[in-house]
């Protein structure tokens, strides 16, 4: 087997489970929003490490720049102004893939191998197998993947799977000057996040909370939100879920039942022909009556 750090837990559109005898440490990135100063060093580090260059756009009247995630911007500092408890608050969120334990993107994907979830918890797109249908975008509860106009493939944060595979932390983590981003095992990160809350509460953020939404099985990117009772204020969904429509649409059982039914119709046709023979015009007696 290849690198243990690249052991696979789940692959899009697979017909059989991947090798799973070995267990691997689950990793997580912890983003402590209360420590973030919005300097965008992580955004630049992401571009540098991944060799991405977004178009130079126009100022849309906010610090958020570029205005949205794209095939060239896999992480983005989202700035919002919100009135919370009668006070104007300037909120900053490092937006990007959350590496869900139960990824909607992977569930929605019809192309075998295009989306891979490593045993470490990292969800990675393998663009060489992507067919460009964009279903992952419809499947993601956080609206993260972006279809490139250049090559019709989807791109998003890889959690620096290439760095993590060889024991390095993601580029954004390495570069953050305030240490707002940390990286380690999921257990440790969850623990560190919880540890941060009493301090924040003492400082007046009574609703400080950890964002690790259970509707997607938890995530491998955790946020400490000072206003944890208002995740929407930061641009995060309150209760992200895959939802019944997606589950039904991509239900492996329903699809397999459909394929079995199609084969049954084929077999029924063959049996019918064998048993009943073709529908032929019977030989006619003079006068045109059936024999």
Partner 1 sequence: MTAPREEVLLRHGNATRVAHWAVAIAFVALFLSGLALFHPFFFWISALFGGGPFLRILHPFAGVALVLVFYPYAAAHLRDNRWLPVDGRWVRNMGAYMRNEHPDVGETHKYNAGQKLMYWSMIPILALLLLTGLLVWQPWIAPHVPAGVRRAAGLLHAVGAFVMFVGIGIHVYAAIWTKGSIDAMIRGTVSGAWARFHHPAWYREMTGREPR
Q: Which residues bind ligand SF4 (CB under 6 A)?
A: 97-100, 103-105, 123, 140, 142, 144-145, 156
* Residue 214 CB neighbour total at 10 angstroms: 12
Q: What is the CA radius of gyration of the chain?
A: 26
Nearer to partner 1, 86 or 282 (CB): 282
Does the footprint of partner 1 cover residue 290 (CB under 8 A)?
Answer: yes
Alpha carbon distance 128, 290 (integer Å): 64
Does the footprint of partner 1 cover residue 261 (CB under 8 A)?
Answer: yes
Q: Which does 144 bind (CB under 5 to 8 A by kind): ligand HEM, ligand SF4, partner 1, none?
A: ligand SF4
Q: Which does 4 bind (CB under 5 to 8 A by kind): partner 1, ligand HEM, ligand SF4, none?
A: none
Binder of ligand HEM out of 13, 25, 39, 133 (CB under 6 A): 133
Nearer to partner 1, 166 or 281 (CB): 281
In whole angstroms, how far apart are CA 82 and each of 209, 217, 232? 18, 29, 10
Least Å distance, CB 147 to ligand HEM, is 12
Binder of partner 1 out of 135, 158, 210, 240 (CB under 8 A): 135
In the DSSP assignment, the letter for residue 169 is P
Burial class (CB in 10 A: 0-12, 13-18, 19+), 25: middle
DSSP SS3 for 16: coil
* Binding-residue total with ligand HEM (CB under 6 A): 3
Residues counted in the chain:
291
Per-residue burial over 5-24, b if 16 or more Cβ lie within 10 Å, else e, is bbbbbbbbbeeeeeeeeeeb
DSSP SS3 for 276: helix
In the DSSP assignment, the letter for residue 179 is -
Least Å distance, CB 224 to partner 1, is 27
Q: Which of residues 162-221 bind ligand HEM (CB under 6 A)?
A: none
Binder of partner 1 out of 17, 60, 258, 271 (CB under 8 A): 258
Least Å distance, CB 243 to ligand SF4, is 12
Q: Which does 239 bind (CB under 5 to 8 A by kind): ligand HEM, ligand SF4, partner 1, none?
A: none
Question: x/- site string to partner 1, residues 170 to 189, per CB under 8 A?
Answer: --------------------
Alpha carbon distance 23, 42 (integer Å): 30
Does the footprint of partner 1 cover residue 130 (CB under 8 A)?
Answer: yes
* Residue 93 CB neighbour total at 10 angstroms: 23
Q: Which of residues 109-128 bind ligand HEM (CB under 6 A)?
A: 110
Give the end-to-end CA distance of the chain in Å, rounded to a whole number. 73
- Which neighbouring-strand residues pair with 183? 29
Question: Measuring CA to CA, which residue among 176, 195, 175, 192 is closest to residue 184?
Answer: 192
Binding residues vs partner 1 (CB under 8 A): 13-15, 108, 110-112, 129-135, 137-140, 143, 147, 149, 152, 243, 245-246, 248-249, 255-256, 258-259, 261-262, 265-266, 269, 272-273, 276-282, 284, 286-290
Binding residues vs ligand HEM (CB under 6 A): 110, 133, 135
């Amino acid at each position: 087997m290849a690198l243990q750090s690249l052991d696979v837990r789940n692959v899009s559109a697979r017909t059989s489970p991947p090798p799973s005898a070995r267990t691997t440490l689950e990793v997580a990135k912890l983003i402590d929003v209360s420590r973030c100063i919005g300097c965008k060093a992580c955004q630049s580090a992401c571009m540098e490490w991944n060799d991405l260059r977004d178009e130079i756009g126009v100022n849309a009247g906010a610090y958020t720049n570029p205005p949205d995630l794209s095939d060239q911007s896999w992480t983005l500092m989202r700035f919002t102004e919100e009135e919370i408890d009668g006070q104007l608050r300037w909120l900053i969120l490092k937006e990007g893939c959350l590496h869900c334990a139960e990824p909607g993107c992977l569930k929605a994907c019809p192309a075998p191998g295009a989306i891979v979830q490593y045993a470490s918890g990292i969800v990675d797109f393998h663009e060489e197998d992507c067919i460009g249908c964009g279903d992952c975008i419809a499947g993601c509860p956080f609206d993260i993947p972006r279809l490139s106009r250049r090559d019709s493939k989807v791109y998003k944060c890889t959690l620096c799977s290439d760095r993590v595979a060889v024991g390095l932390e993601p580029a954004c983590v390495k570069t953050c000057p305030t240490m707002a981003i940390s990286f380690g095992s999921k257990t440790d990160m969850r623990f560190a996040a919880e540890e941060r809350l009493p301090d924040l509460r003492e400082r007046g953020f009574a609703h400080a909370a950890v964002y690790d939404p259970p509707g997607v099985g938890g995530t491998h990117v955790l946020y400490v939100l000072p206003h944890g009772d208002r995740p929407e204020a930061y641009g995060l969904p309150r209760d992200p879920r895959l939802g019944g429509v997606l589950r039904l649409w991509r239900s492996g059982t329903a699809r397999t039942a459909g394929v079995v039914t199609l084969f049954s119709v084929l077999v029924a046709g063959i049996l019918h022909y064998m048993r009943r023979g073709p529908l032929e015009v019977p030989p006619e007696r003079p006068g045109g009556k059936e024999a």
